[in-house]
Structure 1
């Protein structure tokens, strides 16, 4: 039986820029950073204490990166506080918080234009 999601890959143009976005703006930690050839490294970031991580992978090493789209939902206990903190740090949201029968959510974008969802 599968126990958890280990990693989800996100394909980016600039790993350094993406690292700054995920650590300084979103508040994740670097879980692993290992050299991986010229001008590239294996980079995993995750929320503090999480069992799953995002792999921030260079587009230059994936010929079909344009076809590979992430679909990731992040869960938070206090959606309002998380939304406000991320917004104050410059994270671009596609709108205000939305309430549905299954919870409250908002969609945000990273530096490469990928969309992600936070829900509470």
Structure 2
């Protein structure tokens, strides 16, 4: 069996990303290891999720956007309105309201799209992030 253990999103500022992804979005900090001038091994995960039966918990690497290809890639995705990744939520309307109250900028409010309702936010670190709720 193949399973997702680690996925990454490039961020323009790891400290700001750490704050946004933990304090604002509510993920748990998993790792914050100084790697020297290249940045940090900075990962977050779902609150309360732990490894089980030999399967590691899923983590999101907040990866430094220092590679020259990253800036044009991020800019193209944002310009075209394409989210860098998607997170599931139980209630997209409630999450949208909570995050707006915290000052988060949304580029797409909750919008029904057949079997899913999505909203897209700016993570303040160079990315658009989609929140998705399965309908029904």
State TM-score, norm by structure 1. Answer: 0.84
Compute the displacement of 1:112 (Å): 2.3
Which structure 2 segments of 5+ residues have no match?
50-56, 78-82
Q: In structure 2, how many angstroms separate the alpha carbons of the residues matched to 1:11 and 1:79?
A: 24
Q: Which segments of 5 or more consecutive residues in structure 1 lack a partner in the other structure?
A: none
Distance in 2 (CA, whole Å) between partners of 1:23 and 1:99 is 27
Secondary structure of 1:18's match? helix
Residue 115 to residue 20, structure 1, CA distance change in 2 (3 Å): same
Aligned equivalents of 1:119 and 1:13: distance in 2?
24
Q: Which has the larger radius of gyration?
A: 2
Kindly report the root-mean-square deviation, in angstroms, between the aligned alpha carbons of the 2 structures.
2.0
* Residues 92-107 of structure 1: pairs in structure 2 closer than 5 A: 92-107=105-120
Partner residue, 1:37: 36
Q: Give the TM-score, by structure 2 length.
A: 0.76
5 Å matches for 1:1-120?
A: 1-3=1-3, 5-38=4-37, 40-50=39-49, 51-60=57-66, 62-66=67-71, 67=73, 71-120=84-133
Q: Secondary structure of 2:37's match?
A: coil
- C-alpha distance in structure 1 between counterparts of 2:87 and 2:121, whole Å: 11
Aligned length: 118
Q: Could you tell me how far 1:47 is from its partner in structure 2?
A: 2.4
Shift of 1:71: 3.1
